[in-house]
Structure 1
Amino acid sequence: MPVRPGTGNLARPPPAAEPWDVMQIRDLPYPDPGDPDARSGTRFLLWLGRRQLGGQLRALGWGMLHFASVVALSYGVGRAVQAVADGSGPGLASAGGLLALAAAGIALGDTMLHRTAVTNWITAAARTQQLLARRTAALGSALTRRVAAGEVVAVSTGDVEKIGWFVEAVSRFLAAALTVVLVCAALLVHQPELGLLVSVGVPVLALGVLPLLPRATRLADIQREKAGRATELAADTVAGLRVLRGIGGEELFLGRYRRASQEVRRAAVRSARMWSLISALQVLLPGVLSICVVWYGVALVGEGRIGVGQLVTVYSAVMLLGYPLRQFEEIAMAYSFSRPSAARAARVLRLERSPAPRAVAAVPGGGPGAPGSGAPAGDLYDPSTGLLAPAGVLTAVVCGDPDAAGRLAERLGGHPPDAADLPSVLLGGVPLEGLPVEAARAAVLVQDKDPVLLSGTLTELLDVPASGRVDPATALDAAQCADVLDALAQAAPDGDPAAGPITERGRSLSGGQRQRLALARSLVADPEVLVLDEPTSAVDAHTEARIARGVSALRAGRTTVVLTSSPLLLDAAERVVLVRDGRVAAVGGHRELMAREPGYRAVVSRRPEEDGPPPVPGGVPGGPERSPSDIEETA
């Protein structure tokens, strides 16, 4: 039930729709899309149908009115012909009234059937999209590790439409099937001899194409599989287009996509040929039945066993039955196309955010980075590595392996590796994975090394759930975004950088500019715990030094974890942790570790451990050996 005008945000959300409720488009989105049966694609389709029983029954009723009115024309025409043959004026008038009534039924039934069918289609697609969006939000970054990006795009767009198509086609098919049964029964009563011929021939018409459907389905599956691969290739190519241009790989990927698209074309042609054969049979078989009815009916008229009006009635009924019979072909096509789509959607909906976290009986004391038994509330602790990020402290973590750093960042945010049997990260002694998703996201924010910027304006980019403690101007200043603001001001219609357009994924900006805008967005959010994975990898040394000071000052008193090997960020950290082979190996300050830990020194200075301490430019142990001209921001 929609919220009444004038109630505003104080009105309670409408209750979740029951299976028999009739959902209207204006009621979307669903307050609760439900818990789907995702064990298989077929079960998911059945679940969607059950959730829309009210809408399905309405479509069934209007469909029966429409199809019955269409077939009723044949009875009216037959009565009119018989009235003319008998010279009966009243009979002709009654036949005209019947035809007018049938025409009104056709108009009303067709209009309302279309409305209810489209409503069923859109509401089923909307429910599926909401379910997929909810599962995507729950999985987070784990989704793209389990499902290819192109498949996610295909499920969220084309597959949703095909699923909605089948759900709405079911009611029209049932209406057509019931109409055909009723017409055959009426013909048996009205004219048994011809009715028997029609009753035998109609099932042949409906089922005659069944032997071709398995092959048509296989060809359609092959086409969709190839189209999915082409979509995935296109998505990956577009995402890395700037990199491809930098290395001159455009022609290579263009050739790959051209070959993939040609495979899709060939598969589509083979599938279309089979479906065109099915459509041809749907025209040929009714024509053969009509010829048989006319031939046999003329013989019966000649023998005086039936009147000419009865023959016209049966012939017209056979011709008009072709219309509802086409619904049999459509439901076959809809199921053929929607079944693999539903299977892909069900596969995504079956994915779980993470395995159930193992209980941690006690936080071990002693050892590098491990908290003691009296650790203050708010500490972030990873039992699998022994990493401790004390509350209110800027902690830098050096891993040496970028992939290991990325996995650690995801685990700190509550996204453990899929197959790993690892204990849950603890926040203030509470397992992070045991918290509701909303609470975990509000407590810990992870910015990965390749952050995504959605299209829009700078104001929209920074309009994120936030504590309100950090305003956008302060965050942009701390992230050193002055040059980004200048670029956005030039692109803005009125010169206001806040209204400057940001293209999808920030592709109009350089890698360093994207990185700094994402950092500013994270600073505006101001979470209790902020995890940054290589936040300055595409930034020059001078800018990086200013960012290190800005983040350190802005996040003072807040828990911050920075995974990096940059000496500038490490020197600004209050606490530095070295993680090697999946365990904490050393804890201390940057200068202290540079002096006493060869492994740490090797990672930070990028020199072999046996080479000894590196030169100390500027008096900072392990200081930067690069200059702005040494770094070309990643395109």
Structure 2
Amino acid sequence: MQIRDLPYSDPGDPDVRSGPRFLFWLGRNQLGGQLKSLSWGLLHQLGIAGLPVTVGLAVQAVIDRSGGRLALAGGLIVALGVLIAVGDTMLHRTAVTNWITAAARVQQLLARKTAELGSALTRRVAAGEVVAVSTGDVEKIGWFVEALSRFAAAATALVVICVGLAIYLPSLGLMVALAMPVLALAVLPLLPRATRRADEQREKAGKATELASDTVAGLRVLRGIGGEELFLGRYRRASQEVRRAAVRSARMWALISAVQVLLPGILLISLVWYGATLARDGRIDVGQLVTVYSAATLMLFPLRHFEEIAMAYSFSRPSAQRAVRVLSLHRSAQEATVEGVTPTGDLYDPVTGLMAPRGRFTAVVCGDPDEAGRLAERLGGHAATGEEDDKAAAATPSVLLGGVALDEIPLDAARAAVLVQDKDPVLLSGTLQELLDVPSSGLVTADAALEAAQCSDVLSALAQASVDNDGDPMRTRITERGRSLSGGQRQRLALARSLVTDPEALVLDEPTSAVDSHTEARVAAGIAKLRQGRTTVAFASSPLLLDAADRVVLVHEGTVVAVGNHRDLLRNEPRYRAVVTRETDDEAAAADTANGVGDVPAPKSDDVPAMKSIEEIEERA
């Protein structure tokens, strides 16, 4: 795989049983690149290893006053220099290719998993952790994959050099061969502690990243309540914890580096002392001593790769573990079994008993907002599960659309049939025209969707901010996540985007929570009008939106307990009334005592403004 061939047509099915298994899977899938890097690394390392032999030959030729042997040694040195240069260049090229392609593979896997899970991803994994995995962790995983082939080349070169020295000059070669395993393995007792400290540093850095991400996302609210200094203090403390953890980790790696400098130094001193003694006694030639000493000195270079691979693994293992945590999440325990089907009909959830008839506007009221969010995700087939949830997921019936289980159809078909708009939708940067340029049926125009979502004030604001002379709001650029717009404006633009898509079934989670009551009434009427004849489900507790729905369903403690229209439920169902009117227990008890339980008359419109019809509110507005 070359960089020019990226992205992968298929990044593969990763082994997510553990972090080390995931790293092994990455290395195995880049076996060709690893072998290329290993080959060039061996050429480079063995070229370096050949220099001491040629230098020893040159020194001995000078001593023996042999011009021919000196010229031969010089030619060999030049040839080895060329091989070293070529090997080093190609080693760097192939190693960096392995790094980039491995990182790209992980990024593609994460992007595919994000697209598969959608908003369910951040329900299971913190947003800051997702950011840390897709940026810093991907780089560290690529570093380990890149360092692996260079380490293999260095280890192979060390074995070849040690065997060669033992054969060339046993008296000194055996000394070097026996010392090399000690030098390579001396730092192993220190690695567990260094790894633990590196893990601690990564964990604290992840928490600090998560805190920073959450703070930036909620900066507008923090400024409104004056909480900037509070969160700034929290981030400063988290940052200092990361600094202290990094210093503790650096101390261990400094100790490992010191050991790898001290022990080779002792070896070289011992080698020179013993070799000089042998040369003085005439038992070896001076050229042989120079050869062995030069080889031992140059062997310190491949020894550095042992330290590097230890550092790369200690940093990449927790990174791989975090990546595995994200990649192990999945949409469902079931595989798609129905192909080529675009289901239509009633939307039904067997778990709660919720039925949304085809072509009607159904509003759902839940006393627990978290329960409403989970139910909305399940209606779209977006619920994510992990390995530990497989049995529970398999035992949970799938949502049905026209009698077809969403879990049994391909993910793309399920999402085309049922679109879920989260209560906190995200607007991507770009022009308004690009924002509304989404896959759709083509039956709903952008103008109609914007009108139904009551976006006239948004269009006016974008027209004023337009850089074009004609002030076309459709070509005005929207900043990242729509930060230049208010919360209500962002929510209505997201609603318009969902309406343009025109899916078979549209699920809206609190679509009007950020707008005022007058605008909310018009938005509710616009949704009902534009979606006429299409299945629409809206999770809400606002009387204005509930009054516009064809039918209202009350879900209590995970089960449908009442179905009807807004006014009848308000009159006859105390639990519904408690959620919609925010009625306290004391108020409910007083009403039941005065009127009789189950026979509570509907409040007058003057007492409960939410009971007013949409037409009355629009007339007053």
| TM-score (normalised: structure 1) | 0.88
- CA offset at residue 621 of structure 1? 7.6
Query: Residue 71 of structure 2: SS of its match in structure 1?
Result: helix
Distance in 1 of aligned mates of 2:300 and 2:609: 86
Find the counterpart in structure 2 of residue 13 from structure 1.
none
Query: Residue 353 of structure 1: SS of its match in structure 2?
Result: coil
Equivalences for 1:178-327 in 2 at 5 Å?
178-327=156-305
Equivalences for 1:446-525 in 2 at 5 Å?
446-494=420-468, 495-525=471-501
- In structure 2, relative to structure 1, the CA distance for the partners of 1:246 and 1:627 (3 Å cut) is farther
Find the counterpart in structure 1 of residue 73 from structure 2.
95
- Give the fraction of aligned pairs with identical amino acids, expressed as a percent: 72
Question: Which of the residues 348, 351, 364 maps onto 1:397?
Answer: 364
Distance in 1 of aligned mates of 2:217 and 2:81: 55
Question: Which of the residues 165, 168, 179 maps onto 2:146?
Answer: 168
Query: Residue 275 of structure 1: SS of its match in structure 2?
Result: helix
- In structure 2, relative to structure 1, the CA distance for the partners of 1:113 and 1:290 (3 Å cut) is same
Distance in 1 of aligned mates of 2:89 and 2:464: 52
- CA offset at residue 351 of structure 1? 2.1
Distance in 1 of aligned mates of 2:433 and 2:10: 30
Distance in 2 of aligned mates of 1:515 and 1:252: 28
Contact in 2 for aligned 1:567/1:624 (Cα 8 Å): no
Aligned partner of 1:427: which letter?
L
Distance in 2 of aligned mates of 1:264 and 1:627: 55
- In structure 2, relative to structure 1, the CA distance for the partners of 1:558 and 1:188 (3 Å cut) is same
Aligned partner of 2:488: which letter?
G
Find the counterpart in structure 2 of residue 14 from structure 1.
none
Contact in 2 for aligned 1:604/1:622 (Cα 8 Å): no
Please give the root-mean-square deviation of Cα atoms over the aligned residues, in Å.
2.5
Find the counterpart in structure 2 of residue 370 from structure 1.
none
Q: Deviations over 1:234-256 (max 9, x none)?
A: 11111111111112221111111
Find the counterpart in structure 1 of residue 527 from structure 2.
551
**Residues 1:125 and 2:114 aligned together:** no
Q: Structure 2, unaligned stretches of length 5 or more?
A: 338-342, 592-600
- CA offset at residue 617 of structure 1? 5.0
- In structure 2, relative to structure 1, the CA distance for the partners of 1:89 and 1:621 (3 Å cut) is closer
**Residues 1:615 and 2:594 aligned together:** no
Greater Cα shift, 51-60 or 296-305: 296-305
- In structure 2, relative to structure 1, the CA distance for the partners of 1:271 and 1:620 (3 Å cut) is closer
Find the counterpart in structure 1 of residue 123 from structure 2.
145
Contact in 2 for aligned 1:617/1:624 (Cα 8 Å): no
Distance in 2 of aligned mates of 1:163 and 1:208: 25
Contact in 2 for aligned 1:512/1:538 (Cα 8 Å): yes
Query: Residue 54 of structure 1: SS of its match in structure 2?
Result: helix
Aligned partner of 2:57: which letter?
R
Query: Residue 38 of structure 1: SS of its match in structure 2?
Result: coil
Greater Cα shift, 570-579 or 292-301: 570-579
Find the counterpart in structure 2 of residue 568 from structure 1.
544
- In structure 2, relative to structure 1, the CA distance for the partners of 1:431 and 1:301 (3 Å cut) is same
Query: Residue 560 of structure 1: SS of its match in structure 2?
Result: strand
**Residues 1:388 and 2:350 aligned together:** no
Aligned partner of 1:616: which letter?
S
Aligned partner of 2:144: which letter?
F
Aligned partner of 2:366: which letter?
C
- In structure 2, relative to structure 1, the CA distance for the partners of 1:125 and 1:605 (3 Å cut) is same
Contact in 1 for aligned 2:510/2:539 (Cα 8 Å): yes
Distance in 1 of aligned mates of 2:287 and 2:613: 100
**Residues 1:379 and 2:357 aligned together:** no
- CA offset at residue 501 of structure 1? 3.0
Greater Cα shift, 316-325 or 276-285: 276-285
- In structure 2, relative to structure 1, the CA distance for the partners of 1:303 and 1:417 (3 Å cut) is closer
Find the counterpart in structure 2 of residue 8 from structure 1.
none
Q: Deviations over 1:586-633 (max 9, x none)?
A: 3333344344444434433333545442231599981279999xxxxx
- In structure 2, relative to structure 1, the CA distance for the partners of 1:214 and 1:404 (3 Å cut) is closer
Contact in 2 for aligned 1:70/1:106 (Cα 8 Å): yes
- In structure 2, relative to structure 1, the CA distance for the partners of 1:76 and 1:244 (3 Å cut) is same
Contact in 2 for aligned 1:70/1:320 (Cα 8 Å): yes
Greater Cα shift, 80-89 or 590-599: 590-599
Find the counterpart in structure 2 of residue 67 from structure 1.
45
Contact in 2 for aligned 1:605/1:614 (Cα 8 Å): no
**Residues 1:42 and 2:42 aligned together:** no
- In structure 2, relative to structure 1, the CA distance for the partners of 1:26 and 1:526 (3 Å cut) is same
Report the number of matched residues: 590
Distance in 1 of aligned mates of 2:442 and 2:151: 55
Contact in 2 for aligned 1:380/1:426 (Cα 8 Å): yes
Contact in 2 for aligned 1:461/1:521 (Cα 8 Å): yes
Distance in 2 of aligned mates of 1:335 and 1:621: 61
Question: Which of the residues 413, 427, 434 maps onto 2:380?
Answer: 413
Find the counterpart in structure 1 of residue 562 from structure 2.
586
Aligned partner of 1:433: which letter?
D
Distance in 1 of aligned mates of 2:290 and 2:406: 76
Contact in 1 for aligned 2:350/2:399 (Cα 8 Å): yes
Contact in 2 for aligned 1:467/1:526 (Cα 8 Å): yes
- In structure 2, relative to structure 1, the CA distance for the partners of 1:492 and 1:114 (3 Å cut) is farther
- In structure 2, relative to structure 1, the CA distance for the partners of 1:100 and 1:545 (3 Å cut) is same
**Residues 1:27 and 2:16 aligned together:** no
Query: Residue 587 of structure 1: SS of its match in structure 2?
Result: strand
Distance in 2 of aligned mates of 1:488 and 1:552: 26
Q: Deviations over 1:122-178 (max 9, x none)?
A: 111111122222222223333222222222222111111111111111110010011
- CA offset at residue 380 of structure 1? 0.3
Contact in 2 for aligned 1:394/1:575 (Cα 8 Å): yes
Query: Residue 140 of structure 1: SS of its match in structure 2?
Result: helix
Distance in 1 of aligned mates of 2:266 and 2:209: 44
